[in-house]
């Protein structure tokens, strides 16, 4: 669904349509704006993580843990902000309606349920959470810089020209704080939730010939020590 939504949105962007001012922007501008949306970035990240885990569920590493947490947190924030702030401003129809459904409703629930049910566990710590916040903060910096240079902002609550810098900064700070709160909740849940992959059984234990203490044995051939 995420891949289908991305392909659909890319096709619609390539086709082009008039903006609120009635002007069709150049194709390069349209694609720069498309990939400036936090929605698009979070869905792309989720797609990459999902495909990688499908091929290798045991994938791990410090950077990978940050990317994986960013994918989950990013898509949750995407769905939450859309449902509470942006849903009333959307008037899409046709293919655009379907891509919007995938981006803002299907993907967030799919990602959250997938993490709750399948893990993998336990791969979240304080350092991972701190590093994961860098992407949203970098996106905020980019949004301010790109908006200052072009006068275009991806979302109404980020539009400095209409709301002013202080109000937008408050809005985005609130989003970062909510992201941290969700990250803290996921970190608390992570070690307490069951993993879809059962733990490997421990090696069999047999009495040690000298001490009588049980120790792992690589072979159970039935040989007796007398």
* CA 147 – CA 168 distance, rounded (Å): 12
Q: Which pLDDT belongs to residue 209? A: 52
HSE (side-chain half, CA atoms, 13 Å) at 140 = 16
Nearest residue to 219 via CA among 197, 199, 204: 204
HSE (side-chain half, CA atoms, 13 Å) at 65 = 19
Q: Which pLDDT belongs to residue 194? A: 73
Q: Which residues pair with 216 in a beta bridge?
A: 205
Residues 6+ apart with CB under 8 A from 38: 74, 77, 78, 136, 139, 154, 155
- 226 residues of the chain, pLDDT tens digit each: 788 888 999 998 898 777 766 677 899 999 999 999 999 999 999 999 999 988 998 888 889 999 999 999 999 999 999 999 998 777 777 888 888 888 999 999 989 888 888 776 777 888 888 899 999 999 999 999 999 999 999 999 999 999 999 999 999 999 999 999 999 998 888 888 776 555 444 344 445 555 454 444 444 444 444 4
Distances (CA, A) of 69 to 78, 133, 196, 218: 14, 10, 18, 38
Q: Which pLDDT belongs to residue 221? A: 47
Q: Which pLDDT belongs to residue 164? A: 95
| Cβ pair 153, 147 in contact under 8 A | yes
What is the Cα Rg of the chain in Å? 24
Helix, strand, coil % (nearest 5) of the chain?
A: 65, 5, 30
- What pTM, to 2 d.p., does this model score? 0.80
* CA 47 – CA 59 distance, rounded (Å): 15
Q: Which pLDDT belongs to residue 189? A: 87
Q: What is the DSSP string of 29-53?
A: HHHHHHTTSHHHHHHHHHHHHHHHH
Peptide bond into 120 cis (omega under 30): yes
């Amino acid at each position: 669904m995420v891949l289908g939504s991305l392909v659909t949105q890319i096709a619609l962007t390539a086709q082009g349509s008039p903006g609120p001012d009635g002007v069709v922007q150049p194709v390069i501008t349209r694609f720069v704006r498309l990939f400036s949306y936090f929605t698009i970035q979070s869905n792309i990240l989720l797609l990459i993580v999902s495909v990688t885990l499908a091929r290798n569920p045991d994938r791990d590493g410090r950077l990978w843990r940050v990317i994986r947490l960013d994918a989950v947190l990013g898509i949750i924030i995407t769905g939450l902000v859309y449902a509470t702030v942006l849903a009333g401003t959307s008037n899409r129809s046709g293919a655009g309606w379907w891509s919007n459904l995938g981006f803002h409703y299907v993907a967030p629930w799919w990602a959250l349920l997938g993490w709750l049910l399948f893990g993998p566990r336990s791969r979240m710590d304080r350092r991972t959470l701190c590093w994961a916040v860098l992407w949203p903060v970098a996106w905020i910096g980019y949004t301010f810089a790109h908006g200052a240079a072009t006068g275009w902002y991806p979302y109404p609550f980020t539009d400095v020209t209409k709301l002013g810098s202080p109000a937008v900064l408050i809005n985005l700070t609130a989003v970062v704080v909510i992201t941290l709160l969700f990250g803290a909740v996921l970190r608390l849940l992570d070690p307490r939730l069951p993993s879809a992959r059962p733990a490997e059984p421990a090696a069999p234990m047999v009495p040690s010939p000298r001490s009588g203490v049980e120790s792992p044995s690589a072979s159970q051939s039935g040989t007796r020590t007398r």
